Amino acid sequence: MRLLVGLGNPGPKYARQRHNIGFMAIDAIAAAHGFPAFRRRFQGEVSEGRLGGERVVLLKPLTYMNESGRSVGEAMRFYKLEPGDVTVFHDELDLAPGKVRVKRGGGAAGHNGLRSLDAHIGKDYWRVRLGIGHPGRPERVVGYVLSDFAKTDAEWLAPLLDAVATAAPLLTAGDDANFMNKVALLTQPPRPKAPKSARTDVAGTGPAGNES
């Protein structure tokens, strides 16, 4: 069994904020793979289903970001899971918008949700780092992550969430490298079409009217 956790803050006020991209990823996975409606449990919202051959619990903590570890810890104790069975989706300032990286363990890097998880379950869980970019100056970080995505962000955000949902079975199968590769492939911008030749061949002839 795998526990997939999205980090965010509950309620419509926060729903479109950059800090809530973890919630958005979990919702996208649930929708793409036919998970049932979320229900209240473990101080959060959960939905149970399957990704590939793996039984999966999706969890969105409702404790607010700073106390996310309480909800995750409660779910882990109920299902008797280890930190290595947990994968957490969260916003990442140090990645360009739309980029994704997966790693196990590491520091919180100032992220209060990760700090809470580290305190409650240890650091040895998997992290899916969803790039939102950096505002450029440290004093602007709080306002930036707690602001809604800009309308122009939809150009990369929607394809990213779709790609994460599509590739999620690779993640739960433990194939994080191919998960990242597939997300990158699915979010590549389309290649520009080659321009049509200025000349149109006449049937049975080549350029300049010469016979083919």
Active-site positions read 19
Q: What is the DSSP string of 175-207?
A: -HHHHHHHHHHHTSPPPPPPPPPSS-PPTTB-G
Q: How far apart are CA 28 and CA 194, in angstroms?
A: 34
**Residues 178, 103, 47, 62, CA torsion sign:** negative
Beta pairing, strands 86-92 & 44-51: unpaired
**DSSP, res 17:** B
Q: How many CB atoms lie within 10 A of CB 70?
A: 17
Alpha-helical runs (H) found in 5-125: 21-32, 68-79, 112-121
Q: CB neighbours (10 Å) of residue 107? A: 10
| Cα 154 from Cα 160, distance rounded (Å) | 9
Of residues 66, 46, 33, the one with CA closest to residue 3? 46
- State the greatest distance between any 2 C-alpha atoms of the chain, in Å, as a whole number: 79
